[in-house]
Copies of this chain bind each other. A is one copy, B any other.
């Protein structure tokens, strides 16, 4: 392949899969899609959905040579299991999950490491489902594209071209390094937002009481719990380390506030502001 041309299979028409379908169809690419809620989707009146070939069995998406698995990370493992027997060596299978090591390892185990490329577009938000999907979601978005242990360069290049054709910016990375980094940049912030919400909830604070800053700090906690439980489990070690580092800082800050140690508090807060200057 090169440009997403001909036909692309998508498993899961949620925020990511639905947005992919919209972009592909707008570019004249045929889309075959499988979704657990196919009946609900068929009942919708939607010009894009009308042009998607919705199939009743997962393996039918393998009629397309490029398949994107766009379901939560744990479900993606099962999808890969089910899809594996239908894949030929000419297929390219990508996923879009927030953790990459587990699914890459599963592809190896299934003997399809040569046709799988783990991908992760930084394009989601706290909403989910087809109704949240939209055209242009990937325009300008970084997409991590994982160089697999046993995969060929041609597949990785094809995956990069797939995303580039949708306006995204591929960033090549190893799966383990990806998970380590995202534990800090994405999974840690999510857990902090949830911890903040739970603390506010416990104190009887309603969302309406928050200013713009507080709303920014809590928004991520509205994300689907099952999706983020999966991510937390699949990246448990990296996330636990990130949480430990953050907790240690928080504990020091709390101690300094308790001790009214103005100099240390200001030194710490000032150090944080310098991070913004460093880009």
Contact = CB atoms under 8 A, between A and B. Distances in A.
Contacts of A181: 205, 209
A158 interface: no
A262 B228 CA distance: 10
Interface stretch (A27-35, A51-59, A161-169, A185-193): A185-193
How many monomers of this chain does the complex have? Answer: 2
A139 interface: no
Interface in A252-279: 253-254, 257-258, 260, 262, 265-266, 268-273, 275-276, 278-279
Interface in A157-203: 181, 184-186, 188-203
Contact of A217 (B216, B239, B243, B253): B216
A139 to B, nearest CB: 13
A120 to B, nearest CB: 10
Interface stretch (A4-12, A36-44, A229-237): A229-237
Contacts of A251: 247
A225 B258 CA distance: 17
Contacts of A229: 262, 265-266, 269
A74 to B, nearest CB: 9
B275 A207 contact: yes
A39 to B, nearest CB: 25
A272 B198 contact: yes
Given A214-B186, A226-B266, A201 B272 contact: yes
Interface of A: 122, 125-126, 142, 181, 184-186, 188-203, 205-214, 216-226, 228-229, 232-233, 236, 239-240, 242-247, 249-251, 253-254, 257-258, 260, 262, 265-266, 268-273, 275-276, 278-279
Given A216-B216, A216-B217, 4 more contacts: A186-B210, A190-B213, A203-B245, A225-B272
Complex A-B, nearest 7 residue pairs according to Cβ-Cβ distance, in ascending order: A225-B269, A199-B246, A189-B217, A229-B266, A225-B270, A122-B211, A197-B272
